[in-house]
Amino acid sequence: MPDTSDHTVPVLAIDGPSGSGKGTISRRVASHLGWHYLDSGALYRAVGVAAGWADLDLDDAGALVRCAFDTEIRFREAADGELRVLLNGHDATDELRTETAGAAASAIAAIPEVRAALRDRQRAFRQPPGLVADGRDMGTVIFPDARWKVFLTASAEERAERRYKQLKDKGVSVTLDGLLREILARDARDASRPVAPLRPAEDAVRIDTTGMPIDAVVARVLELTSQ
Ligand code: DC
């Protein structure tokens, strides 16, 4: 299907593995620029969670594609500025963040028909005055004509530690070792799948955020967009 989105609207694509800081950085940059924000991972997570609610088999591509088309996914900014995700009208924000939802998302994201089903939904976020798009294939597949492309990385150990702190703050009990193993397994799956594998676009600026404070990464990305 042709891309009917408005190509005159500027896009900043921010890709990278989980835990690279993409989400936090993309949201801050979008809010600074006053642009729209697309959390594409949340769409894959949403389909994973909706599939779980409907008791679908994660190998049943046909059922998952129907689920990707039929599930109503809405993003709403709460009074505290937090982005809430509504699935068929139900607030599923907390469920979307679980490791189970992440693993389901990673599995269904390897199915080409599911990716195709979510393509237009993602492109529909390209609205004036601009879009910050966060994901794995924003710069390579969804918005290949993005004006700026950033690929964020961080060592697996640091990403596991960031996730560990986040979950501990939420009172979830996990081990650092277990998280590191999960992160490495997810990286391998996301990078080795035949469709839209995780890789930087050729024209992406790579930023290694290991040991870098968030503010410094945000400043670096904003500096790029001012060029
Ligand atoms: O960024 P995240 O952890 O919320 O993403 C969840 C999963 O979805 C991740 O394992 C890979 C997949 N994903 C993808 O394949 N393409 C995207 N643009 C975003 C996420």
Write down all domains in the chain, each with its CATH number in brackets: 10-35+129-227 (3.40.50.300), 41-127 (3.40.50.300)
CB-CB contact of 117 with 195 (8 Å):
no
Predicted pLDDT of residue 87: 96
Q: What are the residues facing 149 on neighbouring strands? A: 13
Q: How confident is the model at residue 49 (pLDDT cuts 50, 70, 90)?
A: very high
Distance CA 149, CA 202 (A): 9
* Pocket of ligand 1 from Cβ distances under 6 Å: 18, 40-41, 44-45, 102, 105-106, 109, 135-137, 186, 190
Look at residue 52 and tell me whether its pLDDT is greater than 70: yes
Residue nearest to atom 5 of ligand 1 (CA): 41
Give the closest residue (by CA) to ligand 1 atom 10.
106
- Its pTM stands at 0.91
**Phi and psi for 73 in degrees, rounded to 5?**
-120, 120
Q: Answer for the pair 39, 171: CB distance below 8 angstroms, yes or no.
A: no
Q: Whose alpha carbon is nearest atom 12 of ligand 1?
A: 106
The residue with greater pLDDT, 194 or 164, is: 164
Per-residue pLDDT at 124: 95
Quick check: 101 and 95 in contact, CB under 8 A? yes
Helix (H, G, I), strand (E, B) or coil at 94: helix
> What is the rounded CA–CA span in Å between residue 195 and residue 191?
9
Angle at the Cα of 220 (from 19 to 23), degrees rounded to 5? 30
User: How many whole angstroms from 192 Cα to the centroid of ligand 1?
Assistant: 14
Classify residue 82 by its DSSP letter: P
How far apart CA 186 and CA 190 sit, in angstroms, is 6
What is the pLDDT, as a whole number, of residue 1? Answer: 63
CA of 109 from ligand 1 middle (Å) equals: 7
> d(Cα 138, Cα 146) in Å, to the nearest integer?
8
Look at 38-52, 60-74, 172-186 and tell me which has the smallest mean pLDDT: 172-186
In angstroms, what is the span from residue 135 Cα to ligand 1's centroid?
A: 6
Question: For residue 227, what pLDDT is reported?
Answer: 79
